[in-house]
Structure 1
Amino acid sequence: MNARILRIELRRSIAPWAALAAVVVALGFLFAFSGPWTRFPLDWGSHWVLAAEWSRFLLVFLWPIAVGAGVIQGMRDSRSGMVELLTTMPRPGWHRAAKLAGALAGLLVLGYLLVFAVGAVQVLFNGGFFTFGWLPIVVVGALGMIAGAWIGLGVGRLLPHPLTAPVLAVVSFVGMIVLQLAQSEGSVLAGELPLPSWVVLLSPAFDVFNDPFLTTSSRMDLGQAVWLIGLAATGLLFLAAGSRRAKALAAVPLVAALAIAVPILPATPAEAKVVDPLATAMVCDGPVCVTKMHEAELGKIAGPGKEALRLLGTLPDAPVKIVEFDRRLGYEEVPPRAADTLIVDLMSLPLYLATDPDDVTRALVAGAGTPSCASSRGSGASYLDDVTARTISASWFLGEWKPLKGGNIWASQETTGQIDRTWGTFRALPPDVQRTRIVAQRQAGLTCQGDQLEILTGGLAR
């Protein structure tokens, strides 16, 4: 009997259409538009946590759908004029409420999980990094869909007006956008809105972290789960309430959940992010080590890396090992460096784009085995000078002039010709002078002191 009633609710409710709308909106957004979710290193098909994070990001669109569908469904009895008739039935009101709420929430959660599953399938086909860090992110997202649907049902039962559904859906959408921008890195609203941090962190939707090595903290997951469960319980009780006293008591779970969740939630949005220790664990092939997240790249970098260490071994204080940098660089940040270790960033363009072993070795010995001293997002003249100096030193080690992969992305045709002429200037120097200047470039690269291009050319390229 219960299963039959549930099937009837599925057929006569808005649940199938709401779930379909959620799937179409989510996948339409991901596939129709280009953004960080389509590009390395935040591609939603690159590893499990990112697939989960992008699914949570989409709650900015999906939560208003859940709320609006709940309101429409919650007004059903009022629209049909059956409120007084149903109050005379011997079956408790919560029986019907549970079936209706279960049907709507079940299909909305199914739609949400389907969106995540599309990303997860891409991760499987791409051989992406697996960690269970995705699980709490998806579970809290599913709770968000349930809470949105059930609070909508409750409001629809309390305020059965034709404008309730569109108004509440629009308010939910605007609220999601504002709260997401308030916690988004680099947003003009981040830290500018007069909202306490705990209010911002109550939002079930969040902006995807800019660093793929990060995941949500346990405090963030637990605090949001408690809040969303309380919100869902209040919505369900509003739907089932038949008296004023019951309606007043329905708010108790929401208030209690808020009182419990606020002390649990992190103090700031930044503290909601933690490093995934499994992702940053090192996997090594001799002196070449990469993070567990990029273990698939070890085969690509191990051989060329050992060759790069051999070539650099001819210099004083040469590096003896290669270690991957285990976080993404900030917008104006330069990579860390150490004399005995070649610290590499596998998310940088020269290494990411390099597929040929020779190009990988070339990228590793660029700068005489030191990371770039220019900002990783730079595009000005100093950046081009840095690229030129790094290209010269890489070509000196390999004995052949060849641009670094992605190194001249900002260079015009005229600038590219100037880089070629600079190489000619350097190659015209006596071999012992070339070596001396490469050694000096390495020292400058280790401290980021001095102009490396001027060191290599003696200022003749200016």
Structure 2
Amino acid sequence: MIRIFRIELRRSAARWAGLMVLTASAGLLYSARERWTAGYMILAMDQRWYLSLLTGLAVAAGAWQARREHASRVTELFASVPRPRAHQVVPMLLVYGVVAFVAYVGAWSLAALRIVGTAEYLPAGAVAGVVVAGAVAVVAAAWFGLVVGRMLPSVLTAPALAVATFATPLVARGITGRREWLSTLLFPGYGLGGDSTDFATVPGRFSIAQMLYLTGLAAGAALLFAAAQHRARIVALAPALLGAAAAVLILQGGAAFVRDPVDPAARELVCTGDAPHVCVARVHSGVLDEVTPPARAALAKLARLPGAPSRAEEDLSPMRQVGEYPDSMLVPLTIGDDGHVNHRDRLESIMLDNVGVLPFVCPDEATGPDAAVVDAATSWLLGTAAHTARAGDLLLTLRGLDEQEAAARVGAVRRAILTCSSGDDLLTRPAS
């Protein structure tokens, strides 16, 4: 069997098809690496973002292979061989299936090597479900291309199938009546990746349902390609229908579908063992050592103020409103395209901007202290120059006070920011 597999690999275009899928997938992932370098799950989901393109290439490759046999006029020759049609097509199905599967998984593996030194959180089951479902989709596409290419051996079949597959994310909602869960289930390239957060995931139930559906499609395509009689072709539709039915039942007709789910374990804080504690989300735990020095330096500067926070933690709620601000200093952490912390050389000043308070939503018309007051207080804290003339005058006033009085006023500005209250006279009122 191995000898037959090697012969089929050499005589067919499968290896070139696999190389095309591998190169396209790896290239697309590399071009948008800033989206997925935070972790393995977001990498798997981002690869699915390109699945319509990859399945388009696979289905075109299968159709082109089937047309080659027709163009070479070997169809009648193969039909005269005293072996069942099913036995004849197994090597072709096997070689295209293995190559397509390995190409898709291989592209993910190559990309994962880029973040292996910084990404420590690996939800193996969830990641495997997303990657395997995508690989099975590429296999099903290649086998479906063989079927259509055999039935319609035209030079236009392969490009037409590719274009139609590329367009599936655009028409998915229209085909399914705008049912999000059904669109994501039936069209694996729809709804995953692209703009997902670092904490996004795919529920295991959904991956199982999708794999059942895609396995049914692949099995149906294989049986259609092997079918020599009309009755056998009708029977070949059964696996696809059974797979789709099983998937819908598992998802309870959409009731079990969760839009934009978040992995709670990925959001759990992982902290340094010694004080002052610096904490990041588990999915970013690989860069904790990079965050700790600037965070502790920022905490040391904030410690000059009365009531200053004594620990730092990653900001996990960017839409926070007044009254929801924690006692910790928040770290605005983003991961760069190299897997390391973005702007790590400026992270200390970023954390201390706005007097160590990250922007949040104030209610009604309240906006907090004037920008010049905040600028002067921040510049005093950082030991830098102010950005405007008015802020510079306020900064001179601050620096003319003793350390304790200046720290008290800057601390009052920080509290005014946190409570969205006016504090425009905090730096100019007479010394107490």
Shorter-chain TM-score: what band? 0.7 to 0.9
One-letter code of the match for 1:105?
Answer: G
2:262 is paired with a residue whose SS is strand
Cα distance in structure 1, aligned partners of 2:7 and 2:294: 64
> 1:284-323 counterparts in 2 under 5 A?
284-285=272-273, 286=275, 287-323=277-313
Contact 1:77/1:83 (<8 A) preserved: yes
Distance 1:211 1:313, change over 3 A: same
Cα distance in structure 2, aligned partners of 1:451 and 1:152: 67
Aligned-residue offset at 1:310:
4.7
Instruction: Say whether residues 1:110 and 2:102 are aligned partners.
Output: yes
What is the TM-score normalised by the length of structure 1?
0.76
Cα distance in structure 1, aligned partners of 2:154 and 2:330: 62
Cα distance in structure 2, aligned partners of 1:455 and 1:243: 89
Distance 1:141 1:317, change over 3 A: same
> 1:248-397 counterparts in 2 under 5 A?
248-265=234-251, 271=259, 273-275=261-263, 277-278=265-266, 280-285=268-273, 286=275, 287-326=277-316, 329=318, 337-347=324-334, 352-355=342-345, 360-373=347-360, 391-397=375-381
Instruction: Say whether residues 1:401 and 2:393 are aligned partners.
Output: no
Counterpart residue number, 1:425: 394
One-letter code of the match for 1:197?
Answer: E
Contact 2:62/2:144 (<8 A) preserved: yes
Contact 1:155/1:238 (<8 A) preserved: no
Counterpart residue number, 1:3: 2
> 1:56-205 counterparts in 2 under 5 A?
56-124=48-116, 126-131=117-122, 132=124, 133-179=126-172, 194-201=177-184, 202-205=186-189
2:120 is paired with a residue whose SS is coil
Distance 1:309 1:127, change over 3 A: closer
Counterpart residue number, 2:410: 438
Counterpart residue number, 1:411: none
One-letter code of the match for 1:7?
Answer: R
Q: Which digits, 9 at most, give the CA deviation of each residue in 1:203-226, with x for residues without a partner?
A: 222333431122222122112111
One-letter code of the match for 2:268?
Answer: T
Contact 1:318/1:339 (<8 A) preserved: no
Counterpart residue number, 1:232: 218
Point out where structure 1 has 5 or more consecutive residues left out of the alignment: 183-188, 376-381, 404-415
2:201 is paired with a residue whose SS is strand
Contact 2:143/2:218 (<8 A) preserved: yes
2:178 is paired with a residue whose SS is coil
Aligned-residue offset at 1:391:
4.7
Q: Which digits, 9 at most, give the CA deviation of each residue in 1:127-160, with x for residues without a partner?
A: 3334024322221111111111112222223333
Aligned-residue offset at 1:119:
0.9
Contact 2:290/2:344 (<8 A) preserved: no
Query: With CA pairs under 8 Å and 6+ residues apart, which has the higher RCO, 1 or 2?
Result: 2
Distance 1:79 1:269, change over 3 A: farther
Aligned-residue offset at 1:77:
4.5
One-letter code of the match for 1:394?
Answer: T
Report how many residues are paired.
409
Counterpart residue number, 1:378: none
2:187 is paired with a residue whose SS is coil
Aligned-residue offset at 1:271:
2.3
Contact 2:306/2:407 (<8 A) preserved: no
One-letter code of the match for 1:213?
Answer: F
> 1:12-31 counterparts in 2 under 5 A?
12-31=11-30
Q: Which digits, 9 at most, give the CA deviation of each residue in 1:336-386, with x for residues without a partner?
A: 85352223221299x84142xxx54443343333222379xxxxxx99x76
What is the TM-score normalised by the length of structure 2?
0.81
Q: Which digits, 9 at most, give the CA deviation of each residue in 1:383-408, with x for residues without a partner?
A: 9x76x66553333224x1158xxxxx
One-letter code of the match for 2:394?
Answer: T
Contact 2:330/2:358 (<8 A) preserved: yes
Cα distance in structure 2, aligned partners of 1:52 and 1:243: 40
Cα distance in structure 2, aligned partners of 1:324 and 1:92: 63
Point out where structure 2 has 5 or more consecutive residues left out of the alignment: none
Distance 1:443 1:163, change over 3 A: same
One-letter code of the match for 1:159?
Answer: L
2:259 is paired with a residue whose SS is helix
Distance 1:38 1:272, change over 3 A: closer
Cα distance in structure 2, aligned partners of 1:336 and 1:249: 63
1:271 is paired with a residue whose SS is coil
Cα distance in structure 2, aligned partners of 1:167 and 1:145: 17
One-letter code of the match for 1:158?
Answer: M
Aligned-residue offset at 1:254:
0.7
State the identity as a percent.
28
Cα distance in structure 1, aligned partners of 2:43 and 2:322: 27
Cα distance in structure 2, aligned partners of 1:373 and 1:224: 39
